[in-house]
Amino acid sequence: MSPRIIAVTGAFDVLGEVVATAAAFQGARLALIDHSQVPPDGLVEACGVDALVLTGVDLADPVAAQTAMAAVKSRFGRLDALINIAGGFRWQTLAEGDPAVWDLLYATNVKTAANASRAAIDLLKASPAGRIINIGAAGALKAGAGMGAYAAAKAGVHRLTESLAEELKAEGVTVNAVLPSIIDTPANRADMPDVDFAAWVAPADLAAVILFLASPEARAVTGALIPVTGRV
């Protein structure tokens, strides 16, 4: 069996780096797509010499998304799985927050996933086991104070996942989302230094769920919103 071709958006962030590295360890060939210009140290080497690295890609722009997927096709000839990790977070109350944050979080969470998925659809239809995996949020199921803009954006990712799963199920392409609680990242530890980090979701554990959904073995799962919440 030839290696799976997997595109990871937001590949330079903590979760993206862990997912890409784990996929490479499983034998996948990787397209690493990110808005940032510089990948983290060691990522490209961990993903293999033939990894496609696309920097400075604004996936909120549909043309940029199409260009990125065209590059994937040019390098690998096909695509088997798209993992939409690109996104963003802001905490703010409605009364004291910046209204522009609502547009920002919609663009960085919903539009990036929608544009990347749209650009990848034809490639994924041609795969014998096409997969799209989105990153939702457990916090979008019942939003807490200050979470309105973020929860609304991630709820949009949930609805996108369900709708696209219905659109593509007859084509053999599955579409699912994972709904993490708090992911154990350096940024979250810095923001919440007095809590039990062991209760949070380790990036490697979340990556394991994502990569199962990206695998041929997950053929019977589509339209699912899967909580991955650790002990939060």
Q: Cα-atom radius of gyration of the chain, to the nearest Å? A: 17
Amino acid at 49: V
**Which CATH number do you get for residue 154?**
3.40.50.720
Whether 106 sits among the annotated catalytic residues: the reply is: no
- Domain tally, the chain: 1
How far is the C-alpha of 95 from the C-alpha of 127, rounded, in Å?
Answer: 48
Q: Which of 107, 156, 166 is nearest to 135 (CA)?
A: 156
Q: What is the pLDDT of residue 129?
A: 97
The one catalytic residue among 147, 150, 182, 206: 150
Q: Which two tokens stand for residue 15?
A: 């979760």
Amino acid at 21: T
Local structure of 94: helix, strand or coil? coil
Q: Which of 65, 24, 76, 16 is nearest to 45 (CA)?
A: 24
Contacts of 155-159 spanning 24+ positions with Cβ under 8 A: 156/106, 156/109, 156/110, 157/109, 157/110, 157/113, 158/225
Per-residue pLDDT of the chain (232 residues), as tens digits, is 689 999 999 999 999 999 999 999 999 999 999 999 999 999 999 999 899 999 999 999 999 999 999 999 999 999 999 999 999 999 999 999 999 999 999 999 999 999 999 999 999 999 999 999 999 999 999 999 999 999 999 999 999 999 999 999 999 999 999 999 999 999 999 999 999 999 999 999 999 999 999 999 999 999 999 999 998 8
Give the range of the structural domain holding residue 182, as residue numbers without chain letter.
Answer: 5-228
Q: Which two tokens stand for residue 26?
A: 């499983």
How far is the C-alpha of 229 from the C-alpha of 200, rounded, in Å?
Answer: 7
Q: Which of 207, 172, 218, 184 is nearest to 26 (CA)?
A: 207
Contact present, 27 and 216 (Cβ < 8 Å): no
